[in-house]
Amino acid sequence: MPELPEVEIVRQSLNKKIKQKKVKKVIIRNRNLRFKIPFNFNSHFQNKRIIKVGRFSKYLIIYLSQGSYCLIHLGMSGTIHIVENKKINKFTNSSFYNSPFLPKKHNHIEIVFDNFKIVYNDPRRFGFFQLIKNNLDLKKRFNHLGPEPFDKNFNLEYVYNYFSKKKKDIKSFLLDQKFISGIGNIYASEILFLSKINPSKKASLLSKNECQKIISNSKKILLKAISKGGSSIRDFKNTLGIKGGFQNEFKVYQQDGKKCKNLGCTDLIKKKIISNRSTFFCDSCQK
């Protein structure tokens, strides 16, 4: 499943390619994504210029001329491919997960520009496109979500106050999108290991110092994952020509049974299920 770093790589690839470009038309091959593609989809895009491609959490935001937007969520298996008209593309995928080449099936939406098109592929169809009329509606759309790890509102005051009197464990909070947006299961385990905090620890028992560690290490882990191109399972170059590779940097995620990577620790990494999700940690290093 694409996480924030993977979505950020898609954003960078797309932004580089379609910023300031004018949309010729859109082709809809299948309306039945997680939300049905509305009938005004074509008129929302046609002859409009793309101002830029932004992102909030795992949502891509296409900024269109005349002040409207289109959100794209990649769901479980969505990928966006950049296909040139004349060149034979070796790699079309704008990120590193799933197929590096345009698959033959499940190409649901095409946004066509002068010399190329972008193609939305999604075998499981949990992803969606959503048209947004104006800036106010865009803000409302994200009302139910907490700040991103990179947001200035994700600070000590916010985190420490949020945790007071809360009974849930810290691992569950890191996955709770109302508390913080965009941290997935892989990154939650890595952030807690780096912060030396046990994933089962009650959030209300965290000291200010521990909260601060969560804040800075969330940024650190995600920035590193973005710079490595995300945690792709496959090793291929995307359309920007960079290779994915954060999976080679995992300290605890899927490392159960292996020796802890902290210097001087002889313990093994353990796996346990917290809120239905696999959680990886070192009992000796994380208190």
Query: Of 151 and 283, which CB lies nearer to Zn ion in the complex structure?
Result: 283
**Per-residue x/- track, 268-287, Zn ion (CB under 5 A):** --------------x-xx--
Scanning 85-93, 99-107, 172-180, 255-263 for contacts with Zn ion by CB under 5 A, the matching segment is: 255-263
Among 134, 179, 142, 176, residue whose Cα is nearest residue 160: 179
**Single residue of 262, 268, 271, 277 touching Zn ion by CB under 5 A:** 262
Our answer to whether residue 2 is catalytic in this structure is yes
Asked if 175 is part of the footprint of Zn ion (rule: CB under 5 A), the reply reads: no
**Per-residue x/- track, 27-66, Zn ion (CB under 5 A):** ----------------------------------------
Burial degree of 77 (CB within 10 A; 0-12, 13-18, 19+)? middle
The count of other CB atoms within 10 Å of the CB of residue 174 is: 22
Catalytic pick from 11, 58, 171, 228?
58
Per the CB < 8 A criterion, the answer to whether 167 and 204 are in contact is yes
Query: Which backbone phi and psi does 259 adopt, to 5 degrees?
Result: -70, 140
Our answer to whether residue 3 is catalytic in this structure is yes
Our answer to whether residue 148 is catalytic in this structure is no
Whole-angstrom distance, CA of residue 95 vs CA of residue 245 = 12
**Single residue of 9, 260, 279, 280 touching Zn ion by CB under 5 A:** 260
Among 170, 226, 162, residue whose Cα is nearest residue 203: 170
Amino acid 275 reads: S
Residue numbers annotated as active site: 2-3, 58, 277
Please give the residue ranges that form the binding site for Zn ion (CB under 5 A).
260, 262, 265, 267, 282, 284-285
